[in-house]
Structure 1
Amino acid sequence: MFSKFIPAVNLQPDLRSARGTRIQKGLSIRLIRVVTLILLDIISVSLAWNFAVFNGTPLQSPWTQNRSFLLLVITVEIGVIAVKGLYHPGKHRRNYLGLIQAISLSECLLLLVAFLYEPETYVSRSTFLIFWVFSIALVCLSRLWIDVAIKVVREKGAVRYPVFLITDAEDKQQHIQLIEKEKCYAVQGISDSSCLDRSNRKATFEYLRKEGIVEAFVSWSAIKNRLYVCWHFHSAGIILQILPTKNEVHHPKSVFWMIGETPCLTIPAPIITGSDFWVKRCFDLVCSIILITLLSPIYLFIAILIKLDSPGPIFFKQNRIGLHCKKFKMWKFRTMVVNAEKLQADLEAKNEIKDGVLFKLKNDPRVTRVGKFLRSYSLDELPQLFNVLLGEMSLVGPRPLPLRDVEKFQTMHFIRQEVLPGITGLWQVSGRSDIENFEEGVKLDITYIENWALWLDLKILLKTIRVVLQKTGAY
């Protein structure tokens, strides 16, 4: 069974990485839209201010005489509109009530600034009221104009995002009608759920890249058993729209969105695909080099202790199964007697892991005296920093397991092998050896893969320090 899951050499390095760094699909169109809206708002606010100053009651004030104050007015109004999310696409752009609230709030902020700066010489009440009314009117009119213009252009089939639909035959027509109702998408291709199968996935994503697909609409029934496929869309820079059913599950990286009257889960693509995983790899390299340098005296001290305690080598090298089920030598400080692996066969009956996939024994007779101390503080894991340096492991990720354990995997467990293994992980900081069921550990690994972000790695590393110092679940 194990041999079936050994991949070809040209597989991408990690589920979360991208084949080369590229800008998010359709980003240029989105940037043009946002810049156009901001320019129209700047023009509208400037016109409203000048009209108010010209027609309002004159008052000697630096606000009306110094052009730099107009820049402050524009900055505050545009800033509040942006914070309210009114430059986002779809209904956010057309949220006129939100625009009125944002402009009114910015006027109040300007009054507060004026009071604190020079309470006696702001502008007259008539100037302020004219500016407030005309700001609302001109900004809303400019939004209405741009909305009508986009609608007319899209009715003619232009300025539409190229999308790909993946759905089952029985839902195909319904989903096509739903997408076309928005009148901002051009369906470039349609396929069923088989295109996301392991054997077809590479060809599917090559096609999507070649066609310049910006967004992919996938029905929940087509993706429900392939949640980790979401990472492939993420690393390809393609926004994933999940069309839910009555029994949909909220994916941890998704945000709620409406297509017409239908709720939809959107998993956004990064602006620069592969950038977050590239940062992770750089972080791994820098940290491993620094730690190896700083800890070199401790390495030497541990090596002396091991030599004085029991005969045998200082380091223990074991074949572990890593990324894409490839074997590699994982390094540890030796904590057991020399013939420990041969003795394990006699101890299998005492295995404390309930389902038998892993092998754990609290009072393992093979562990040496120094080994027991090293294990309690996880000092035996320090040589794995060299594995990190070589790119075989990461600081954070699912723990690499021996061949004996992986051979007992079921198909669903192999998702662990789609990402770089780590020295520590969510499993380790959530109980370490106290977790007695392999399925519980796998669930934690899958949770880590689905929710992965740089901040999660940092959180796990910080928690690892606390867990190690407290010796939680270590033996």
Structure 2
Amino acid sequence: MTHQSTTTHTTNYNNWRNSALDLRAAAFLKLSKGAWWLRILTLVIVDCFALFFAWKLAQYQVSPVDTSTYSQNNRISELMVLQIASLALQGTYQSGQQRCDYWGIIKTLTFAQGLILLVSVLYQPIIEAEKSTLTVSWLLSTTFVITGRLAIELALKYLRQRKIIGCNSVFVICEPEYYEQTTKFIKNEKRYIIRGTDTARALDRYNREATLEKLNRLGITEVFIAWDAIKNRMFLCWLFQAAGITVNIIPMQLKPIHRQVYIQKVGGMPCLTVSCPTIIGKDFWLKRMFDFCFTALFLLFASPIYLAIAIAIKLDSPGPVFYKQTRIGLSGRQFKVWKFRTMRPDADKLQKELEALNETKDGIIFKIKDDPRITRIGKFLRRYSLDELPQLFNVLLGEMSLVGPRPLPTRDVDKFLDHHFLRQEVLPGVTGLWQVSGRSNILDFEQVINLDMSYIENWSLQLDFEILLKTVQVVLKKEGAY
């Protein structure tokens, strides 16, 4: 690919994603789409009535006296809260067929009842009743709750068949030859209305924004995507999730997926569902809050270290303390990355003369093991990655995160192929999976892309903390740093 064509790619990318956010983030915290709240409210109300009558009837059967006192009702309420919480933790209020997992409901209520009995025996009676009361209440609770769930399921089926209540608006993305077969399965479920279909091209880089706008305009709450359309685009689940849309993947020639998914049948067709959280973007904004707070505290306490490094640089060689270079960040935006200067002041000019010595296989990233431009103090700073410390200023400004794909210079991005731009979908980081998996020892840029994509697709707060801890170990061992 020529320099002119790659520059065009970069320009188009900048125009396309000029105002976009990190693909893991909603505009800010917002609720998921759909009538999930009505489902949860209905199930909780029905379960509460079922459990309340079960406890009252159990008390009356064992001891047919006045069971309507305030203290007894208050204790029953406490027991019901424990049972409802157990059902919620088991996932019986989630979408799909979890609400009809009757065996799971029996196990959950049995566990809750056992917990009540254990606390009553070891500490103090939660409810003034004989053990037979707990036995009868367990039998009645499981019977009434399952009966209530079955009644809800039959009522929903009846109302949906007669179009009395609305169904979920869905959109199908697959190749034309699979339209008829896929839509037939979905229509068999009787709880979906297909609002439109499109091919895999709807997920291409330049079409995604228009596709999301179309889905929002149609009020889509779920999408069904053929595996062939998303097999190399699993990171797109973040985009749909940020829009509050649940993703159902129609499995065809599946390979391992490292995401939290559950299997459900839609009209008899197996689907892998990547569910949408109730509050969208909360994990990403927690990450941003942690980035800001941790960085601010670190800069406050580490200021003497910064001062000592600055003095050492000034004594070692002439030139500025800091080195600022234009890097390409989120959505192709340019920004100035801060580093402690580790090279001669004319290093950028000398780089053109050293291009022939570049050790990377594809030439995208410029790396030389014994770079003659590096100063004496610069070698020490690079060995322990201390030259990267000023990038915490970029984190405070919101231009970078503590963890993410490393931002690359304009010179490198100008040589990108089309699929390389995927790493620009998320906020760049001071450290990342690339840095803890070999750093400068990785000389093939495709390996870097694979690591970045693995990070994006499997991102979680836990993964960020693991990378931060691994970074400390890698720096102390001086692995792959030069």
Which residue identity does 2:274 align to in structure 1?
I
Q: 1:373 to 1:76 in 2, by over 3 A?
A: same
Aligned partners of 2:262 and 2:274 also within 8 Å: no
Alpha-carbon offset, residue 153 of structure 1: 0.8
Structure 1 distance, partners of 2:243, 2:310, is: 45
Deviation readout 1:364-420 (Å, 9 max, x if unpaired)? 222111111111111111222222233322222111122332233222211112222
Alignment-mate amino acid for residue 8 of structure 2: S
Change (3 A) 1:194 1:337: same
Map of 2:82 onto structure 1: 76
Matched, 1:23 2:31: yes
- The residue identity in structure 2 corresponding to 1:253 is R
CA contact (8 A) 1:256 1:263 kept: no
Alignment of 1:169 onto 2:176: yes
Displacement of 1:118 in angstroms is 5.3
Indicate the residue corresponding to 2:406 in structure 1.
399
Paired AA for residue 303 in structure 1 = A
- Identical counterparts, % of pairs: 48
Say yes or no: does 1:207 pair with 2:214. Answer: yes
Question: Would the alpha carbon gap of residues 353 and 46 (structure 1) be closer, same or farther in structure 2, given more than 3 Å must change?
Answer: same
2:10 aligns with: 5
Residues 159-193 of structure 1 deviation map (CA, whole Å, 9 limit, x = unaligned): 31111111211110111111112111111222222
Instruction: Show CA shifts across 1:223-253 (max 9, x none).
Output: 23433322221221111111111x1234333
Report the equivalent of 1:376. Answer: 383
Aligned length: 472
Asked whether the equivalents of residues 396 and 423 of structure 1 are also in contact (C-alpha less than 8 Å), the reply is yes
Give the AA of the match of 2:291. D
Give the corresponding residue for 1:190.
Answer: 197
Distance in 2, matches of 1:355 and 1:85, equals 48
| Corresponding residue of 2:310 | 303
Q: State the match for 2:111 in structure 1.
A: 105
Answer whether contact 1:242 1:266 (CA < 8 A) is retained.
yes
Return the alpha-carbon distance in structure 2 between the equivalents of residues 118 and 384 of structure 1.
Answer: 57
Quote the Cα distance in structure 2 between the aligned partners of 1:455 and 1:108.
33
* Alignment of 1:142 onto 2:148: yes
TM-score (norm 2): 0.90
Q: SS of the residue aligned with 1:216?
A: strand
Mapping for residues 46-445 of structure 1, pairs under 5 Å: 46-56=52-62, 66-117=72-123, 123-124=129-130, 126-157=132-163, 158-245=165-252, 247-260=253-266, 261-445=268-452
Structure 2 counterpart SS, 1:283: helix
What is the CA–CA distance in structure 2 between the aligned matches of 1:65 and 1:292, rounded to whole Å?
56
Cα pair distance change 1:289/1:364, threshold 3 Å: same
Residue ranges of structure 1 left out of the alignment (5+ in a row): none
Q: Return the offset for 1:201.
A: 2.0
Conserved 8 A contact 2:221-2:246 = yes
Cα distance in 2 for residues equivalent to 1:451 and 1:398:
13
Deviation, structure 1 residue 335: 0.8
- Relative distance call for 1:254 and 1:436 in structure 2 (3 A) is same
The one-letter code of the counterpart of 1:41 is: D
8 A Cα contact 1:12 1:19, kept in partner: no
Distance 2:336 2:135 in 1: 74
RMSD of equivalent CA atoms: 2.7
Compared CA separation, residues 133 and 441, structure 1 to 2 (3 A): same
Question: Is the contact between residue 24 and residue 272 of structure 1 (CA under 8 Å) also seen in structure 2?
Answer: yes
Q: Residue 64 and residue 95 in structure 1: after superposition, are their counterparts in 2 closer, same or farther (change >3 A)? A: farther
Q: Which has the higher contact order (CA 8 A, sep 6+)?
A: 2
Question: 1 CA distance for matches of 2:23 and 2:91?
Answer: 31
The residue that corresponds to 1:14 in the other structure is 22
Runs (5+) with no aligned partner, structure 2: 1-5
Residue 125 of structure 1 and its aligned partner are, at CA, apart by 5.5
TM-score w.r.t. length of structure 1: 0.91
